[in-house]
Structure 1
C-alpha cells in the first residue's frame, strides 16, 4: 500500500493545494524575546493566498503549481507552506495526516462521483478558526 500511495503525486498536490488555500487563522504564543502576555497573530489563510509567494493566480486552486517537470510533488519550504506549522512547532503527525488524507480521498473518489448541487451558485467562505463555507 505504501508504494501505491507514493504514486499518487497529483493527489498529494491537490490535497496540499486545499490546505494552502484553506489554512486556518491561528494565534501563536511568543517564544523567546517577546514579553510574556504578548502574542502575534499569524494569518495563515492570507499567507496561503499571497501573490508574492504563490504567483498571480494565488487565489486559484491549481495543484499543478506543486508538481515539478518530472510529474513529482515539489515540496515547499514549511515557512512558505504553513499548513503544518514550521520550526519547533511543526506538526509531528503531518506525514500520518497526509497519508490519511490520501487514503480517504482515494476511497471516496473510487466509489463516488462528486458534483456541485447548484452549479451556478458562487461559493463564499466565512473566515473563522477554520475556513467554513457559507
Structure 2
C-alpha cells in the first residue's frame, strides 16, 4: 500500500491538470497572443497600398489572414516568408507575400511586377 499511494497521487495530479484555451466573449475563436512579427504584418495590412489586399477589404471577400511559409536564408539576411490573403470557399487565397528580416525585425513587401522585394515603410 505504501508503494501504491505515491503512484496514485502522481496519476491523480497528472489527470487533474486540464489544458484550457481562452476564448473571446464575442465569438468562439481561441484568443492567441500576438508575436512581434504578427504586429508588423497587421500594420502592413492596415497601411498598405497593394491593390489585391485593398480589393479584398473593399469587396468584403473575407477576413485577411497570414500563413507562415518558411525561412529563406541569404548571405546577409534570414527572412521569414508569409503569405497574406483570405479564405474563400474553404481555400486560402494568397493576395500578397511579405518577408520579415528576423534579426532587424523589418518587413519587406514582394513586388510581382519586378519579382523583387523592397523594404516596406509606413506612409
- Shorter-chain TM-score tier: under 0.3
- Which protein is richer in strand relative to its size? 2
Larger radius of gyration: 2
Task: Name which structure has the greater RCO, CA cutoff 8 Å, separation 6+.
Answer: 1
Return the TM-score normalized by structure 2.
0.27
Higher helix share: 1
Q: TM (normalized to structure 1)? A: 0.26
